[in-house]
Structure 1
Amino acid sequence: MSAEMGNEIKCDTVPIISNTPCDERINSLSCLFEEEFGTKPSFYVRVPGRVNIIGEHIDYCGYPVLPMALEQDILIAASLIQEPELHLRNVNSKYKSFDTKLTTFEHVITPDVNGKPFWYSYILCGIKGALEYLHNKMNKGLQLYIDGNIPPASGLSSSSALVSAACLSFLHAQNISLSKTEIAALCASSERYIGTQGGGMDQAIAFLAEKLSAQYITFQPLQATSVGLPEDAVFVVAHSLAEANKAATNDFNRRVIECRLAAQILTALNGIPEDKKIITLSEAQKKIGKSLKDMIRLVCDNLPKEYYSKSEVCDILNINEDELENLYLTPNTKHLTEF
């Protein structure tokens, strides 16, 4: 949700809300912003976290999911500046301030010495994606003050919300308006600059959520269908206090590339003409022309082993290890020797 002075726009674009919202958290953020930058925010952006009800880890396989948005969110206060610069501040003091020129920031989308991305790297991903969409043309720089209450690394999409909020902020600053599905797709591709190969569920629900509803989200093309929830329904989202930063390890990407390789193997072993383009399991199903139940049988027949070595995968796909790494693996999965 983006907010600035003006009337609310009712359409498929992200809504614009009139006047500064009467919200204690926004008022507090506004005061911090004015103290830091010496001016009031020009607009606010709010992007929610999410929880997935059905379909965990199948969005990057191209299959439908059923998430809903949470009340917890990433909130950004923003103002425009004439210089092509980005000035980032965070309410949480453990997240250090960061300033950069918008023309030279690409090199800082890198992890720290422990392999964990800096908090601002997610913002840079969103802005990098927006800049590429705009062919690197921009009219304004930005001052951003961020307040987030989504527990980080908890599986509630705090990172995707931050990427999405940053992308939306930058596009709005350049007076660019996209449809909800367009900006969701853009933010999904933007987050891959951090290194994770997500499927787009998090960004889709961030922009397509509706009150008292989950969203049945399908891909290729991205579409969302509202699924009404009972008004008296209560969902308990419990935090185990364990943290897993998906960009800091290869656990997430390992699942993604194993599914990619499975899709490639299934098509290769079922007479589909060789195509080295990355495909999802749902695309493999369409190419093979089988029902979901039949696909499960195919998996049991064609991939009976629990683990396959890199050389075994290469033999099945008729490629060498360099081709395997360059075509299908990510930088943090190239070292894997079995899948």
Structure 2
Amino acid sequence: MTVASSAAAAFHSTFGTEPAGLWAAPGRVNLIGEHTDYNDGFVLPFALPQQVVAAAAGRDEPGWTICSDFAEEPVTFGSSAPGDVEGWAAYAAGVVWALEEAGFTVPPARITLASDVPVGAGVSSSAALESAVLTALADLGGLDLPVARRPALAQRAENVYVGAPTGIMDQSASIRCEAGRALFLDCRSLEVEQIPFDLAAESLAVLIINSNTPHQHVDGEYGARRKSCEEAARILGVPALRDVTADGLEAALGKLDDEVMRRRVRHIVTENQRVLDTVALLRSGRIREIGPLMTASHASMRDDFEITVDRVDVAVEAALAAGAYGARMTGGGFGGCVLALIDADRAEATTAAVEQAYAERSFTAPTTWSAIPGPGARRL
């Protein structure tokens, strides 16, 4: 049974009627550009085939009832404030809250959710949930809500209502990505450009390797990285680290006394440049040549930003040894997934190499799949 049919079947069994429609939003991986988003920098995500599907219909009485294939009981809520709804349902309640805060009349609705986006793998299952619910409610209510405005509302739901200090990349990717393209996002201006990323035409694939290490921002480490970056920008007298160029990096580092802060700044500045270099290569169709940039990005996350763990490092090393053009961790760090750019016919061999490396270290076996860039949030 597909995710869409699961959502529709759950709606019928829960509410006894058919949904008015089905709306889907994908998970995402970030091809390159990690922790640059909250530094007003550049990112380059693409949408995965895995998605959250919302089966939805209006209801006569006020309020919203949400149920999900990863929860036993439906959750019903009315207009609420941050903290009123907790757990997984807070992501949906946060979307309603953000829409109402923005002045929209949100249609009362019943929604069932089904998903095949891995949870805790760093592929933005939460943003996919928010984006699916937001897209469904916007359509059901006929809301005058341009697509370009939607990521910021979904982000506000996660930042303020749920309390997760994420940047805008995840929601932008889930809502604005296009099939066959990577989304070049300027996180300051929010301008986007759809960059050709036709892997099949070049007989290439991106192998997603889920390390099966829960993607957790351990002990507030994500927040600590963000605070360090913001403090460095203050010391350097710039609005954000995006304003430090690669050419000006050494001069900027000379103004910082703290060695840890110096490493954090070096990652952000060099990572922004790697995004720009990757975009330039993709614009000219030179996909294979982005591999070394991916690998350099991983080394920077490992050594300067210190957000990788053994299992993702081993996956990167094994994929490269098996012939990958490049490999890197994707996501906020401390677990999650690795991306490997490979020849399309090397997926099985690369997977076997990673599995062997994991078995030698008694790690839980990884999960892998090949991904091509898919579409963003939409009605099915």
Q: How many residues are paired up? A: 257
Contact 1:44 1:76 in 2 (8 A): yes
Output aligned runs, 1:1-339, within 5 Å. 24-92=2-70, 95-104=71-80, 106-110=82-86, 118-134=87-103, 137-138=105-106, 140-193=107-160, 194-230=162-198, 231=200, 232-246=203-217, 249-267=219-237, 279-282=239-242, 285=243, 291-294=245-248, 296-307=249-260
> Measured at CA, do residues 42 and 249 of structure 1 come closer, stay the same or move farther in structure 2, by a change above 3 Å?
farther
Change (3 A) 1:186 1:103: closer
Report the CA distance between 1:85 and its aligned residue: 1.4
* Structure 1 Cα separation of the partners of residues 133 and 219 of structure 2: 23
Distance 1:130 1:98 in 2: 21
| SS of the residue 1:203 aligns to | helix
Contact kept, 8 Å, 1:130 with 1:171, in 2: the verdict is no
Do the aligned partners of 1:150 and 1:156 also contact (CA within 8 Å) in 2?
A: yes
Q: Contact 1:62–1:199 at 8 Å: present in 2 too?
A: no
Q: CA separation in 1, counterparts of 2:189 and 2:127? A: 20
Normalized per residue, which structure has more helix?
Answer: 2
Q: What's the CA shift for 1:281? A: 1.9
SS at match of 2:165: coil
CA distance in 1, matches of 2:154, 2:89: 15
Q: Distance in 2 between matches of 1:109 and 1:266?
A: 40
Give CA deviations for 1:5-52 in whole Å, capped at 9, x if unaligned: xxxxxxxxxxxxxxxxxx844233222211110111012110001111
C-alpha distance in 2 between matches for 1:109 and 1:292: 44
Contact preservation (8 Å) 2:28, 2:45: yes
Shift of 1:237: 0.5
- SS for the counterpart of 2:185 is strand
Distance 2:224 2:128 in 1: 23
Taking the aligned partners of 2:219 and 2:127, their CA distance within structure 1 comes to: 16
State the SS of the aligned residue for 2:122.
coil
Higher relative contact order (CA 8 A, sep 6+): 2
TM superposition score normalised by structure 2: 0.63
Residue 107 and residue 54 in structure 1: after superposition, are their counterparts in 2 closer, same or farther (change >3 A)? Answer: closer
Partner letter of residue 262 of structure 1?
Answer: A
Q: Deviations over 1:217-243 (max 9, x none)?
A: 112321211211232321101101111
Any stretches of 5+ residues in structure 1 without a counterpart?
Answer: 1-22, 111-117, 273-278, 309-339
Distance in 2 (CA, whole Å) between partners of 1:187 and 1:223 is: 17
Residues 296-329 of structure 1: per-residue CA shift (max 9 Å, x gap): 2233212232358xxxxxxxxxxxxxxxxxxxxx
* Conserved 8 A contact 2:47-2:173: yes
Sequence identity percentage: 24
- Check the 8 A contact 1:86/1:141 in 2, yes or no: yes
CA distance in 2, matches of 1:171, 1:133: 13
Per the normalisation by structure 1, the TM-score is: 0.70
Question: Residues 197 and 256 of structure 1 are in contact (CA less than 8 Å); yes or no, is this contact kept in structure 2?
Answer: no
- The question of whether the paired residues in 1 share the 8 Å contact of 2:52 and 2:115 is answered with yes
